[in-house]
Amino acid sequence: MGSLLIVDSIKKYFPIKGGFRKPLKLLKAVDGVSFEVKGNSVLSIVGESGCGKSTVAKLILRLLPLTEGRIFFKGMDISSAASEDIKKFRRSVQIVFQDPFASLNPRMKIMDILAEPFKIHNLLPNKEIKDRLSGLLKRVGLSADVLKRYPHEFSGGQRQRICIARALTVSPELIVADELLSALDVSIQAQILNLLLDIKKESAISIVFISHDLNVVHYLSDEVAVMYLGRIVEMAKTEDLFQSPKHPYTELLLSSAPKIKVKEDKKIRSWGDKKSSTSQPLNFSTFRLISDVPSPIDIPTGCPFHPRCPKRFDICDKVVPELKDIGGRLASCHLH
Ligand SMILES: Nc1ncnc2c1ncn2[C@@H]1O[C@H](COP(=O)(O)OP(=O)(O)O)[C@@H](O)[C@H]1O
Ligand code: SF4
Ligand SMILES: [Mg+2]
């Protein structure tokens, strides 16, 4: 399959006031990120809070203007496209956010919430909408009687299913899921992940799946990009990344990630016991306590990860490592 989405060296800098008589500083939220998403595939973007994941999502969705770089959707440059093409783009690319409650209008019945996109995009005659919605709800594991109810009548997991149904109403080609699972219990997270896997199988949709938690992306993603301070530091096919991470930051993320249990039918059941991982000598969560993520306003010299890297050596604080190809995958580390 060809590329659905091409993200080419995108940057997003936010100007920050430096205080009285102090110069304006730049917060480099996204600092030269490139990747491709092929048709019917899942790319996950993983990294700690503040590394720029949501900013990347907003740039893809055109919710923020780019500082630099270009984004192509099916070959069309989305920052300079004609308005007719932008309309099509807005249907083809949908976003689902972390907080399913905040993104559903509490005063609207589910019927009206889900019917809205059909009306905005003038997709279906009114009398066919209800049938279509019943079908959609079935796809996300809900029955048609939810249509008469209001958002507060549902649990977090059910609301997230409703948000996914809403994204699917316009038959998108790409869904950007930003921390979709973060507000949900672990058992519900597994259900939602399985739902996304089913949707991908049934409708050849591509997904950009954003998460701060490396362990949830394993069974969903075809490829994983690891971000640190606004840049991708490693990108590889999922199995390669989990079996042999090349960047010390990925290693640290993995060392704190409990394994997901998968039954023979390949359905995700639950996460492993978080406690078992804390006994490992190089543990990310304890490591994090002694050294916090540096600010994207003052990015460290050389390798941005050097103040926290257990493998750093003499040149690491002086020379910026490039993101380079190492046997069909990418990593930015002087060790390679
Ligand atoms: N509108 C904004 N103005 C200034 N700084 C912002 C804005 N949006 C995000 N940031 C900053 O950009 C960085 C990346 O944020 P974000 O993309 O939300 O990270 P993530 O989603 O990975 O947690 C953070 O330091 C954040 O504070
Ligand atoms: S370049 Fe150096 S500091 Fe950066 S990740 Fe590699 S070893 Fe660690
Ligand atoms: Mg975010």
Q: Closest residue (by CA) to atom 5 of ligand 2?
A: 333
- pLDDT at residue 271 greater than cutoff 70: no
Report the separation in Å between the CA atom of 252 and the middle of ligand 2, taken as the mean of its atom positions.
Answer: 12
- pLDDT at residue 300 greater than cutoff 80: yes
Distances (CA, A) of 48 to 179, 283, 293: 12, 15, 8
Q: What is the pTM of this model?
A: 0.89
45 and 56 Cβ atoms separated by less than 8 Å: yes
The answer to whether the CB of 54 is under 6 A from ligand 1 is: yes
Atom of ligand 1 nearest to the CA of 212: 22
Predicted confidence (pLDDT) per residue in 207-238, tens digit: 999 998 888 899 899 999 999 999 999 999 99
Report the separation in Å between the CA atom of 306 and the middle of ligand 2, taken as the mean of its atom positions.
Answer: 6
Asked whether residue 257 is domain-assigned, the answer is yes
Q: What is the pLDDT of residue 265?
A: 54
Mean pLDDT of 290-314: 88
Atom of ligand 1 nearest to the CA of 58: 17
Q: How confident is the model at residue 304 (pLDDT cuts 50, 70, 90)?
A: very high
Q: Is 152 helix (H, G, I), strand (E, B) or coil?
A: helix
Number of domains in the chain: 1
- pLDDT at residue 283 greater than cutoff 50: no
Give percent of the chain with pLDDT exceeding 90. Answer: 55
- Answer with the residue of higher pLDDT: 176 or 213: 176
Kindly state the tokens that stand for 147. Answer: 């249509």
Q: Which domain holds residue 269?
A: 3-331
| Separation between Cα atoms, residue 7 and residue 72, nearest integer Å | 6
Contacts of 235 (CB under 8 A, 6+ apart): 35, 223, 224, 225, 226, 323, 329, 330, 331
267 and 67 Cβ atoms separated by less than 8 Å: no
Report the separation in Å between the CA atom of 56 and the middle of ligand 3, taken as the mean of its atom positions.
Answer: 9
| Separation between Cα atoms, residue 332 and residue 1, nearest integer Å | 27
H helix or E strand, kind and range, residue 13: strand 3-16
Distances (CA, A) of 172 to 1, 30, 285: 17, 26, 37
| Separation between Cα atoms, residue 181 and residue 164, nearest integer Å | 12
CA 327 to chain centre: 25
Report the separation in Å between the CA atom of 261 and the middle of ligand 2, taken as the mean of its atom positions.
Answer: 32
Asked whether residue 74 is domain-assigned, the answer is yes
The answer to whether the CB of 296 is under 6 A from ligand 1 is: yes
- pLDDT at residue 275 greater than cutoff 60: no
Atom of ligand 2 nearest to the CA of 334: 1
Alpha helices in 146-283 (DSSP H): 156-168, 186-203, 238-243, 248-255, 274-277
Q: What is the pLDDT of residue 269?
A: 55
Kindly state the tokens that stand for 105. Answer: 């209008």
Report the separation in Å between the CA atom of 259 and the middle of ligand 2, taken as the mean of its atom positions.
Answer: 26
Q: What is the pLDDT of residue 277?
A: 37
Asked whether residue 117 is domain-assigned, the answer is yes
234 and 331 Cβ atoms separated by less than 8 Å: yes
Asked whether residue 226 is domain-assigned, the answer is yes
Axis crossing angle, helix 126-139 with helix 110-120, rounded to the nearest 10: 120
Atom of ligand 2 nearest to the CA of 316: 2
Q: What is the pLDDT of residue 101?
A: 67
Q: How confident is the model at residue 185 (pLDDT cuts 50, 70, 90)?
A: confident
The answer to whether the CB of 49 is under 6 A from ligand 1 is: yes
- pLDDT at residue 162 greater than cutoff 80: yes
CATH number at residue 18: 3.40.50.300
To test the pocket of ligand 1, the residue of 11, 27, 209 to mutate (highest count of ligand atoms within 8 Å of its CB) is: 27
- pLDDT at residue 24 greater than cutoff 80: yes
The answer to whether the CB of 50 is under 6 A from ligand 1 is: yes
How far does the chain reach from its first CA to its final CA, in angstroms?
Answer: 30
Q: What is the pLDDT of residue 257?
A: 57
CA 336 to chain centre: 27
- pLDDT at residue 260 greater than cutoff 60: no
Asked whether residue 336 is domain-assigned, the answer is no
- pLDDT at residue 182 greater than cutoff 90: no
Q: How confident is the model at residue 290 (pLDDT cuts 50, 70, 90)?
A: very low
Asked whether residue 42 is domain-assigned, the answer is yes
Q: Of 177, 307, 286, 176, nearest to 229 (Cα)?
A: 307
Report the separation in Å between the CA atom of 52 and the middle of ligand 1, taken as the mean of its atom positions.
Answer: 6
Atom of ligand 1 nearest to the CA of 49: 23
Mean pLDDT of 312-333: 96
Pick the range with the lowest mean pLDDT from 47-51, 110-114, 260-264, 303-307: 260-264
66 and 10 Cβ atoms separated by less than 8 Å: yes
The answer to whether the CB of 27 is under 6 A from ligand 1 is: yes
The answer to whether the CB of 55 is under 6 A from ligand 1 is: yes
Radius of gyration of the CA atoms of the chain, in A: 21
Report the separation in Å between the CA atom of 156 and the middle of ligand 1, taken as the mean of its atom positions.
Answer: 25
